[in-house]
Structures are given as C-alpha cells and as structure tokens.
Amino acid sequence: MKYKLIGLGLSVLLIASFSFAQGTIEGTVVDGDTQQPLPGANVFLQGTVIGSVTDSGGFFRIRNVPDERITLVVTMIGYEKYSQSDIRVTPGETQSFSIVLRPTVIETSPVIVTAMKTERSLRDVPTSVSVMHAREIERRNVFSIDEVLRTIPGVHFNLSQINIRGSSGYSHGAGSRVMLLVDGVPLLSGDSGEITWELIPVEQVERVEVVKGAGSTLYGSSALGGVVNIITRDLPERPVTAMQLRGGIYASPHFAEWRWSGRSRYKHKMRISHGRQIGQLQIMGSLGALYDDSYRRNDSRRRTTGYFKGRYTLSPYQSLTVSSFFLNQTRNNFLYWSSFDNALEPFEEQLGEEVESFRVQSNIQYRHVFGSESFITARASWYHTNWEDNIGSNGNASLSNVFGAEMQFNTTVGQSHFLVSGIDVSLHSVDSDIFGTRSGYVFAAYVQDEWEVAAPLRITGGVRFDITRLDTIDTFMNISPRAGIVYTVLPRLTFRASTGAGFRAPAVAEAFAMTAASGLIVRPNPDLSAERSWSYEAGVNADITSWMNIDAAVFHNDYFDMIEPEARIEEEGLTARFVNLVRAHVRGVEAGITFSFFDRRLLPRIAYTLVDGKDLDLGEPLKYRHKHMLVTGLLARYGFGWIEIDYRYLSKVENIDDELSMIVDKPDKHVPVHVVDLSAGVEGSIGGIPLRFSASIKNLLQYHYVEFVANVQPIRQYIASLQVMI
C-alpha cells in the first residue's frame, strides 16, 4: 500500500509537470527600417514565467502556451515595445508571427529591475540609473566586467574597489559601499566584504544596471553608496554552441627605464559554451581559461572559470532556476612600485609572492506568477571563498561562507498601488589567521509601495528594518526609509526626486584584520560602529529634440560614522586601522547628453560628473576621490561593421595618505587621468555559421597614470577577439 501511494504521488507530480504542455508560438523579429533580423530581443507571455530570446536569425519559439487568452510582448533596447493581446493557442497548435519592431531615435527607456526590485521603465524610477547592455560590453573587448564599469558616468575605481559618485575612498581588499548583485543575489565575500570581478563570466552578461545613491531600503548593508546588478543572459530555445578566443599584447612602456622585461608580454583567454532545451528544461554551461603575463613584474595571473544556469518550467506560472559559477585563480602579488624610476617592478621582497584562491557561488530561485503584476520569488544562495598566500614570514589563509535566503512578494492593490515586500536572511562564517574565527547573521524585512496618484504622477515610499550581528561587535539595528517621486510632464519630459537612508555594518576585515605586508602594519578595531547616510537627489530626463536626449541630476549625501582607513607613524613603523569619521558629505551634479544621427548610425554621447567630498571633522577633502569626471564616446555603425572610440577623464586626486611616503617612493605622483580606447569590428556569417570579429587598442595614447598610490595602471594593449556560434 505504501509503495502504491508513493507511485500515485509520483504520477501526480509527473502529471502536474507535463500535463500543461499545450500549444506553441514561434516567429521572427525584424527591424522596421532595415528588415534585418534582431537577435537578443526578449519575447514573453505577460503574466507567466515563460518566454524566449531571439537567436542570431531573429527567430524565437515559446512552447507550452496555456490554453487561454494571453498577451505576447516583445522588448529590445532602442526599439518601441511591441504588444499583441487576445491571442489563444489551442493544444497541439503552432501559431507563427512576423513581428516588426520600430526603432526609437534615442535609446533612453530600457526596462530595469534593480532600482525598484521589479521591472520598470527607466523613466519611471525616482533615482539615477545607468544601464549597459551586452552589445556595448562585447564591443569593448574586455577581460572582466569592471573594465566596462569604468566607462559609466559617475563611476571610478581605486584598483578593484568601485566608487559611485564619491561614496568610497580606498581600503585594500576590505569592505565595499557598493552592493554587487548577480541576478538579484548579493555577491560580497564573507571575510573581506569585497568584490571579485573576475568571478563573473563577461560573455554571459545580458546587461549591467548601476543604481546611484543609497539602496539600503531594498538591499540592506553595503548598498549605502549604490548598487550594481549584473543580469545574466536568458537561456536558449535551440541548441547553440559558442567559442570565443581573445588575445592581446602589451606595448612597451613610454619610459625606457620602466622596461623591465626583455620579451613581449601577452594575455589571452578562451571560453566555450553550450546551451539547449530538453523538454521543460533549459540549460547553459561554459568553461573558460585566462593567462595574463602582465605589463608589470610579479603581476601575472592564471585563472579558470566555469558557469552553469538551468531553468525548469513547472507550469506556465511556475519556474525553478539554478545557477552556479566558480573561479580558480593564481596571481602574483604587486602592491607598490619599488621606486618611481622602476614603477613597473615591486619591492625585491615581493618577488615570488602569490595568492591562490577558489571561489564558488550557487543559488536557486523559485518563482510563482499569479497575474501580470503579482508574483512570489524565493531565493537561496551560497558563496564560498577560500584563499591562501605566501606573503610575510608564514603566509596567510582565509575560508569563508555566506548563506542567504530571501522571500519576496510583489502584488497590485487596487488599480494604483504596487507593493514589493520581503524577508531577507543571511549567515556568515569565517576561519582565518588574519581575521580569526568569526560568525554573524543578518535578518531584515522590507516593504515598498509605488502609488500611481494620477497618470503623470508616481510616488514611491518604503522602509527596511535590519538586525545585524558581527561576532563580538554589538548587534546593529537599523531602519532605512526611502521616498521618491516621478512626474511625467510630457511623454518625453520627466522630473524625478528621491531621498533615502543607507547604512553599512563593518566587514570582518575592517574590524578584525591583523597583519603586516610591504612595511604596513594593519591593526584591528573591534569598536567600529556601523556607518549611515542620507541621500538626496533631483533630476530630469528629456528628449530635447528627436535626435538629442539629456539626463541631469543634482545630489547630496550626508555620511555619519563613515568608516575610513587611518594611517599613523608609530614606533613600530607605519600602522593602519579602520576608524569612524565623525561626519562627511559628498555632493555634486551629473549630466549626460546622448545624440542620434543618420538613422542611429552615428551615436555620440558625453557625460560629466562633479563630486565634492569633504571630511567635515577635519575640514579637508575626502581621500582618493576625483572631483571632476568626464566620459564621452562615439559609435559609428554601417551594415555589418562598426567603430567606437571612448575617452574618460578624471581630475587629479586632491587628498591621499601622506604617511605612505614612509614606505613608498613618491606616493604623491598622481596625475589627471586621460584614457582613450578604440575598437572596431564586423559581424556576419560564413557558410551559415554566425561569427563576430573585433579588435581594440586600449589606452591608445600610452598614458601612464595611477588609480592608487604607486600602482601604475595598464599601459597600451592591442587586443583581438573572434567568436563563432554553431
């Protein structure tokens, strides 16, 4: 009897999984002007979890269409949204569609998810958001995702540490004021609280969304300065295999005395991926390898990366998605130059130092849709890091784990309210000879209401409550409110304003790190408090003409108990520890203009950001911030070819740790940054096999500059890339 019941239960599950197999919708999506197929368009059935992405020939297929009246929606950046309602497909039937998308003159209204934790048009969110799509990333021939983030307005880096609108200074491998998400799942390490950009496979990125300003109301600690959400590509309907080869060579340094190597220095990368659909299961996997000689001595790196994503459609309204990626890397250790005359060589004692690391992140997500605007999402994730080095007399090692879970509920209330609410929990554990054996947890609950008061006016209000425990440090309890308004005066003229609170609990590394390297002694400070902020912004987005769009904003951020490293000269030598500043503010303006000429064949753009950051306790500029930032570019495309040039300018850093002169030669050798990148490419097919070839010259001007003290950034590189799809 027991086995009969088990068999009956399994039969019910199988029936539930497969009985929904209904009709099929397929078709092609083309450009309304050129009639060329559009690859990468999103095609989905509104109010369900099923959809597709067009392939290289603009073709799509959606199986298991429910036997009811549905609405077919097609979206793609740079094109008007397509929607066809009242479609009904009977079981066993296949309906075909030829869909024409009409280009928009200015690419300003993509659908984003990060700012509101649900899909919204960029014009409908009350905060500044920048979006970069897969095509833009592919054109730039990058080896890791942080390279393209440097071209986003208001963003700059201090080595691997991201800074959005002056929110962050520099702390080597400890803490981040920017929350990194991959498909909405946090990706900050449990020990150092830092971001490892190399972990993310560039080729699998569909788009990057950068939210500027405090995001703690929805995302909690570490979103104090902003949020970066990396959305991975959707899964293919038809079998597809892709191989990409990318290689480059470093030029010789401009100064002869810097030429430490007698041979050319190379970097190369290979990645292969395959995806397909098997019944209700869609899968994608990839494996890649990179070797980089580096332009600096003792700075080479070797890494292997892997990625897997799978989605099982339980019904037209339920899906289960699993994803995982790993990084296995060995890199040499280069921190400071040995002298300014030998700027590409480290201290003699650093030669032979290296760091080995293994990182893996896995998550599972269940989604149940109840209607066009109501659904539940449940997530669980695990982020494991394990690294060791031979730095110092005995070397260092650290092992950490972060387990996270979130339940989010989105629903409409009446005709004008859209609620987002959820519970977020995470557990942290660290076992390290630098940080000790530590543990902690976070529990949070949040709610946000988007109220469409009238057709032109939207008001957003929300709050999040966090309880954070970090080992022996006092438990932090924090409430983060948020409010915003969007007023659409005309269809192409929108005003926005927002205010919100942010907070960040100290990372394990900031509170407990105790080590010494390169003459610097790092001391712990277990008395650290959480830092908090208030963020204010007002902005406008307008199509000035049919060929010009402008987006501008003014912002002001107040920081309290800001966590910054403090360097001191003591009897033992140069010491550093993290402390809470009494108060600081960062304020400024940001404005960007996008143009479109000759039927979108010529696309110039320019954006400027002014950042005024001040330590109000000392009355001096905050350290390692650039006051003026400018990014500009020009894309020209015709037929199957394109050429693009990017230029970015950063003014000279106004304030650094002068105490570093005790261990570093000429740490004040900072200059304004001028970087020009040039790329060109073609895409088409040979014998029916799609391929894309591109070439780039990075740092075309061979301009030598630093992002951090005594650390010269990449010199000129010549890079070529070939991608073939089968």
State yes or no: pLDDT of 10 exceeds 80: no
Cβ(323)–Cβ(359) under 8 Å?
no
The pLDDT-based confidence of 2 (bands split at 50, 70, 90) is: very low
Q: Identify the architecture of domain 17-101 in CATH.
A: Sandwich (2.60)
pLDDT band at 397 (very low <50, low <70, confident <90, very high): very high
CB contact burial 476-501 (16+ within 10 A = b; e otherwise):
bebebebebbbbbeeebebbbbbbbb
pLDDT higher at 98 or 573? 98
Which of the 8 DSSP states describes residue 581?
-
Please classify residue 394 by burial: count the beta carbons closer than 10 Å to its beta carbon, then call 0-12 exposed, 13-18 middle and 19+ buried: exposed
Cα→Cα distances 592→79, 157, 412, 552, Å: 21, 20, 34, 6
Q: In this predicted structure, what is the pLDDT of residue 19? A: 43
Domains of the chain, by residue range, sit at 17-101, 111-725
- Dihedral angle of Cα 339, 341, 345, 350, to the nearest 10 degrees: -20
| Right CATH for 111-725 from 2.40.170.20, 1.20.120.10, 3.40.630.10, 2.60.40.3670 | 2.40.170.20
pTM of the model: 0.91
Token pair, residue 698, equals 């990075």
- 105: pLDDT strictly greater than 60: no
Confidence band, pLDDT 50/70/90 cuts, at residue 13: very low
Band of residue 577 on the pLDDT scale cut at 50, 70, 90: confident
**Contact between 506 and 563 (Cβ < 8 Å):** yes
* Statement: residue 707 has pLDDT above 70: yes
Q: What does the pLDDT look like over 263-280, one tens digit per residue?
A: 999 999 999 999 998 988
Tell which residue, 599, 709, 694, 703, has the closest CA to residue 647: 703
Report the pLDDT averaged over residues 694-706. 96
Return the amino acid letter for 65. Answer: V
Mean pLDDT of the chain: 89
Average pLDDT over residues 548-552: 95
Q: Read off the DSSP letter of residue 110.
A: -
122 token code pair: 């960029």
In the chain, what is the straight-line distance between the N-terminal and C-terminal CA atoms, in Å?
A: 51
3-class SS string, 674-725: EEEEEEEEEEEEECCEEEEEEEEEECCCCCCCEEECCEECCCCEEEEEEEEE
- Tell me: pLDDT of 471 over 60: yes
> What pLDDT does 187 receive?
93
Residue 421: the pLDDT is 96
Looking at per-residue confidence, does 122 or 346 come out higher? 346
Q: Do domains 17-101 and 111-725 have the same CATH topology?
A: no
Whether residue 362 contacts residue 309, with contact meaning beta carbons closer than 8 Å, is answered with no
Residue 106: which pLDDT band, with cuts at 50, 70 and 90? Answer: low
Q: Which two tokens stand for residue 380?
A: 């669980």
Q: SS3 string of 136-150?
A: HHHHCCCCCCHHHHC
Count how many Cα atoms sit within 13 Å of the Cα of residue 708 in the half-sphere of its side chain.
19
Q: Which of 47, 83, 80 is nearest to 65 (CA)?
A: 47
Helices (H) and strands (E) in the chain, counts: 5, 45
Q: For 451-511, what is the HEC assignment?
A: EEEECCEEEEEEEEEEEEEECCCCCEEEEEEEEEEEEEEECCEEEEEEEEEEEECCCHHHH
> Does an H or E element contain 216, and which?
helix 216-219
User: Could you tell me the pLDDT band of residue 109, with boundaries at 50, 70 and 90?
Assistant: low
Tell me the pLDDT tens digit for each residue of 604-629.
Answer: 999 999 999 999 988 999 988 999 99
